[in-house]
Amino acid sequence: MATDEITKNRQTQAALINKSTLQNAIFNSANFSSIATDAHGVIQIFNVGAERMLGYSATEVMNKITPANISDTQEIYE
């Protein structure tokens, strides 16, 4: 592998790491909640903002329950 190609690969890798770090910082911000489910409705993503807003930890809900389990029943039917 040529030196230029190695340098280019390292630059690309560094850019991806920086982008990933930024995405994680945004995702883990407590200023907004982010909740996502899989095709079956089971929670897969539950960030710090969701924890703060709803009072559950990510470990309590991820891969275990659906949003309906932590929602006000009256709100679901309205």
Across the chain, mean pLDDT equals 86
User: How many domains does one find in the chain?
Assistant: 2
Domain containing residue 37:
31-78
Model confidence at 50, pLDDT cuts 50, 70, 90, reads very high
pLDDT at position 29 over 80: no
Say whether both 36 and 5 belong to one domain: no
Q: Has this prediction a pTM greater than 0.75?
A: no
Say whether both 57 and 67 belong to one domain: yes
Say whether both 48 and 76 belong to one domain: yes
3-state secondary structure (DSSP) of residue 15: helix
Say whether both 24 and 56 belong to one domain: no
Say whether both 39 and 63 belong to one domain: yes
Say whether both 37 and 17 belong to one domain: no
Of the given ranges (5-9, 58-62, 63-67), which has the lowest mean pLDDT?
Answer: 5-9
Residue with tokens 């891969």: 63
Model confidence at 30, pLDDT cuts 50, 70, 90, reads confident
Furthest-apart CA atoms within the chain: distance in Å? 64
DSSP H or E run through 75: helix 73-77
